[in-house]
Amino acid sequence: MAARKGIGLPGTILGIGLGGFVDGILLHQLLQWHHMLSSTDTDRIGVRYYPVDTVPGLRMNTVWDGLFHTVTWLAVLAGIGLLYSRVTASRGRVWRSRALWGWILSGWGLFNLVEGVIDHHLLGIHHVRTGPYQLAWDLGFLVLGVILVVGGWALRRGAGTLDLCQAPR
């Protein structure tokens, strides 16, 4: 029962959502390296190609980027809701805890690993950066995911326990 009430699940879900936001905001919007369907001309599942250098193509990619952001936003809301329901005392303390930030980093790394393997390698619907060194960029994304998971684990490993779901005295 104590493990079910811990912060591992909420922290991981928060990390998945926040990691998705970093990906979407930085790589999709600011750097414009890719969009959700930007490599469907070479994908492995036969999705119609929506070139990002045409207005209709960019519109469709923007819709799919918006759906992606909606899912990441819902993950953040779910993670915060779960965390709020599990931590009833010392809520400020949990936000400063190494344990929570370790779980968040691990969730972000998990996002990179799952999204990178599925979207970049298995489906091929987009890549981190198309063109020269495309495979290197995709593999680097996975390596970053591993680093985040290991870093999150190391941060959690040295963290103390938190008082979860205790009534205030």
pLDDT tens for residues 102-153?
A: 999 999 999 999 999 999 999 999 999 999 999 999 999 999 999 999 999 9
Express each pLDDT in 82-101 by its tens digit: 999 988 877 778 888 999 99
Q: Tokens representing 118?
A: 């599925």
Alpha helices in the chain (DSSP H): 8-22, 55-86, 91-95, 98-115, 134-157
Express each pLDDT in 15-63 by its tens digit: 999 999 999 999 999 999 999 999 999 999 999 999 999 999 999 999 9
Question: Please, are residues 156 and 98 in contact by the beta-carbon 8 Å criterion?
Answer: yes
Q: Tokens representing 56?
A: 């209709």
With CA atoms as reference, report the closest residue to 61 among 23, 32, 19, 18.
32
How buried is residue 63: exposed, middle or buried, by Cβ count under 10 Å (0-12/13-18/19+)? middle
| Prediction pTM value | 0.89
User: Where are any strands of DSSP class E within 1-93?
Assistant: none
pLDDT band at 158 (very low <50, low <70, confident <90, very high): confident
Q: Is the pLDDT of residue 167 over 70?
A: no
CA distance linking residue 115 with residue 159, whole number of Å: 28
- Residue 35 is which amino acid? H
